[in-house]
Every structure is written in structure tokens, then in C-alpha cells.
């Protein structure tokens, strides 16, 4: 691979790791910078964690609870807002359910696979 093609290949990888800057328009991503504050100063942006089709996610410091949190900032177009509200409802149901999602409830049909042993002595003693 020549240096020129490697450089263009590297550049294409770098751009795929970030959201499209053309989506920072009305209805798109909200521009966020390190140090930005939200919710009357409660959350201070520390660094970017990632991005997806309809949002960016940031590590933020919660000054009220004195801990780090993930701050998800959704694109502002109505279809993204509706999707985000559906996600919030789902997460609220998980939080209020009687069984924590991290602890699966075993069903009567779920069993661990049993190991079967072949009697090695019986097969080897037939010689």
C-alpha cells in the first residue's frame, strides 16, 4: 500500500468514528463542548462517550449527586424526540419493575446442559 492510499484510508477511518458534521443543523445534533453545563449548572460535560443515529452521549459530572453520569442529547427533529420519549418510557418501566433487569428470572424450561459421560472403562476393556 502506498503512503498516499494509506493516508486516505486513515482519514476515512477517522471520519467514520465521528458523527457527520453536516447533521449539526436545525433538527439534527446539538453542538456540545467540553465544559458545557446543562440543567441550571447541575451537569458539566467532561468528555464525549459516543454517538448514534439520533443522539450523542457525553460523560458529565452531576454536581448535585457528586457523581459521573451519561448525558444523552437527542437530535431535535420530532421523530427523534418521539423515539427518545419511547426509550425513556421503556427505561422507566425497567427501573420500576419488580425484577431487576440484571438478574434474569429462570423459567421452568431453562436448565443447565448436563454433561454426559461415556464409560471409558467399558469401551476400552472389550479388547
- The residues, ordered by sequence, that sit 6+ positions from 94 with a Cβ below 8 Å of its Cβ are 101
pLDDT tens for 54-111 read 899 999 999 999 999 999 999 989 889 888 999 999 989 988 886 665 666 666 665 5
Which of 23-27, 33-37, 60-64 shows the lowest mean pLDDT across its residues?
Answer: 23-27
Is 75 annotated in a binding site? The answer is no
Q: How many CA atoms lie within 13 A of 8 on its CB side?
A: 4
pLDDT given at position 22 = 86
pLDDT tens for 43-69 read 999 999 999 988 999 999 999 999 999
Predicted TM-score (pTM) of the model is 0.60
- Which domains, from first to last, does the chain contain? 12-96 (3.30.200.20)
Amino acid at each position: 500500500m502506498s503512503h498516499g492510499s494509506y493516508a486516505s484510508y486513515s482519514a476515512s477511518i477517522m471520519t467514520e468514528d465521528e458523527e457527520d458534521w453536516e447533521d449539526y443543523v436545525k433538527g439534527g445534533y446539538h453542538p456540545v463542548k467540553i465544559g458545557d453545563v446543562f440543567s441550571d449548572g447541575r451537569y458539566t460535560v467532561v468528555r464525549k462517550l459516543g454517538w448514534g443515529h439520533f443522539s450523542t452521549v457525553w460523560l458529565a459530572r452531576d454536581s448535585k449527586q457528586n457523581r459521573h453520569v451519561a448525558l444523552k442529547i437527542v437530535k431535535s427533529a420530532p421523530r427523534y424526540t418521539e423515539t427518545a420519549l419511547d426509550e425513556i418510557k421503556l427505561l422507566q418501566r425497567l427501573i420500576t419493575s419488580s425484577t431487576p433487569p440484571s438478574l434474569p428470572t429462570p423459567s421452568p424450561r431453562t436448565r443447565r446442559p448436563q454433561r454426559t459421560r461415556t464409560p471409558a472403562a467399558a469401551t476400552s476393556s472389550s479388547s
